[in-house]
């Protein structure tokens, strides 16, 4: 059994944080430290095919929820709290429905329990066009990506995954080959009849289109106690665009 890689911060009640697609635990280090200062033992997890966790050709939300359960058993974690963003939010939803006895409070950041058509193709195409055999610096990779991805923030997000596999040879932490072939799975929904009846907060970005008013009924069907709150003037990366409000609203909910 392969265990997920994590960074553990602080002491107290367990709080597991799950990153989004092409992300990693490091994306949450600053917010994780803030939660740790408020009495949580924060587990920043790299999901399979991401960060420093294992690579696998098998990739779906049932497996990813099972990975988290194995992690909890391996670390002997008592009942705790779960926060997931985007793809990590789907994993968190699936986990809460499959293992509800472990979850006190659940926070889902800017994703709904519904199917999303593949919409990362331009980014994946740009990544797959890179020839890392001849690109020997982060600057050169960034320059090459800029031909297809004009948004500096997205490029910097992707470049955080870049590392030296060995002297003179760059690689990405994420499993680009598998993820490129699993776009349908990444957009997939949790099971149609699955439900978590515990305290749940959905936080959406005010400028994001990932959660629409039409999704409220579906959210309530799967998560009958769900509350929905908005962080205005933020997009899909609401936790990075307004970390102060994201932290305050999350902490208030976790402590209720």
Catalytic residue among 50, 236, 239, 250: 236
86 catalytic? Reply is yes
Q: What is the DSSP letter of 256?
A: -
Confidence of residue 256 (pLDDT cuts 50, 70, 90): confident
- CA dist 242 and 187 (Å) reads 25
Q: What does the pLDDT average to over 83-96?
A: 97
50 catalytic? Reply is no
Q: What does the pLDDT average to over 189-198?
A: 90
* 3-class secondary-structure state, position 241: helix
Residue 150 has a CB neighbour count (10 Å cut-off) of 9
Cα Rg of the chain (Å, integer): 18
Per the DSSP assignment, residues forming a β-bridge with 248 are: none
Confidence of residue 221 (pLDDT cuts 50, 70, 90): very high
Catalytic residue among 86, 208, 239, 250: 86
Structure tokens at 49: 């095919």
* Global pTM value: 0.96
């Amino acid at each position: 059994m392969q265990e997920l890689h994590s960074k553990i911060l602080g002491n107290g009640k367990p709080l597991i944080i799950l990153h989004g697609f092409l992300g990693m635990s490091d994306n949450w280090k600053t917010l994780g430290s803030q939660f740790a200062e408020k009495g949580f033992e924060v587990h920043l997890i790299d999901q399979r095919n991401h960060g420093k966790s294992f690579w696998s050709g098998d990739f779906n939300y049932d497996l990813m929820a099972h990975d988290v359960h194995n992690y909890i058993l391996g670390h002997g974690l008592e009942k705790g709290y779960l926060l997931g963003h985007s793809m990590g939010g789907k994993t968190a939803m699936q986990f809460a429905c499959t293992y509800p006895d472990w979850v006190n409070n659940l926070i889902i950041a800017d994703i709904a329990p519904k199917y999303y058509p593949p919409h990362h193709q331009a980014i994946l195409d740009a990544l797959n066009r890179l020839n890392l055999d001849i690109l020997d610096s982060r600057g050169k990779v960034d320059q090459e990506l800029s031909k297809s991805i004009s948004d500096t923030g997205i490029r910097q997000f992707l470049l955080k995954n870049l590392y030296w596999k060995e002297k003179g040879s760059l690689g990405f932490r994420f499993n680009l080959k598998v993820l490129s072939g699993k776009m349908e799975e990444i957009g997939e929904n949790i099971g149609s009849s699955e439900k978590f009846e515990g305290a749940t907060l959905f936080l959406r970005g005010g400028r994001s289109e990932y959660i629409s008013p039409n999704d409220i009924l579906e959210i309530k069907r799967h998560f009958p106690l769900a509350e929905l709150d908005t962080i205005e003037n933020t997009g899909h990366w609401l936790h990075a665009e307004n970390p102060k409000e994201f932290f305050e609203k999350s902490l208030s909910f976790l402590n209720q």
